[in-house]
Structure 1
Amino acid sequence: MNKKELSQTLSHRLGITCKESQQYLDTLCEVLSEEFQKGNSICLQNFGLFSCRQQPGRPGRNPRTGVPAHIPSRTIVKFKPGKGLMKTLNP
């Protein structure tokens, strides 16, 4: 399911227009991004936990040429499913 299909499903279930549900999804994505930039985790009860951490830079190499290269640090986002989600996936 992509963002457009999710927006259509939300609009049907909530009885709102597709444009409103798309605005809702855009706002949700913005809020999640802002919180991850601050280094905060997001816990949605019975759904799961989104957490982020900073992965430090490290030495590496180009697999094609074998030339050593530096891999810069980056932010990693992880998702850990909650018990409620796991119950619906594995009844």
Structure 2
Amino acid sequence: MNKKELSQTLSHRLGITCKESQQYLDTLCDVFNEELRKGNSICLQNFGQFSCWQQPGRMGRNPRTGVPAPIPPRKSVKFKPGKGLMKILNP
């Protein structure tokens, strides 16, 4: 399911227009992005938790030449599924 299909499903279930459900999804994504940029986690009961984590920089090597090369630190998002979601997937 992609964003457009999710928007259509929401509009049918909530009895709103597709445009309204699209605005709702866009706003939800914006809020998620803002909070994760701040380093905050987002916990949705029975669904899961989104949290920000940072992999520290380290030394690697070029596989072709074997020359050591620094790998810069990077940030990413981690998702931990909640108990309710796990019950659906593993009854």
Same fold (TM over 0.5): yes
Amino acid at match of 2:72: P
Structure 1: tracts of 5 or more residues without a match: none
Structure 2: tracts of 5 or more residues without a match: none
TM-score by length of 1: 0.87
* Moved segments of 4+, more than 6 Å: none
Between the two proteins, the alignment pairs up a number of residues equal to: 91
TM-score by length of 2: 0.87
Q: Call closer, same or farther: CA 1:16–1:67 in 2, change over 3 Å.
A: farther
Deviation at 1:67?
4.6
Q: 1:88 matched to which residue of 2? A: 88
Q: 2:49 matched to which residue of 1? A: 49
CA distances 1:27-73 after superposition (whole Å, capped 9, x unpaired): 11111111111111111001111111121122223445555432221
Alpha-carbon RMSD across the aligned residues, in angstroms, is: 1.5
Q: 1:39 matched to which residue of 2? A: 39
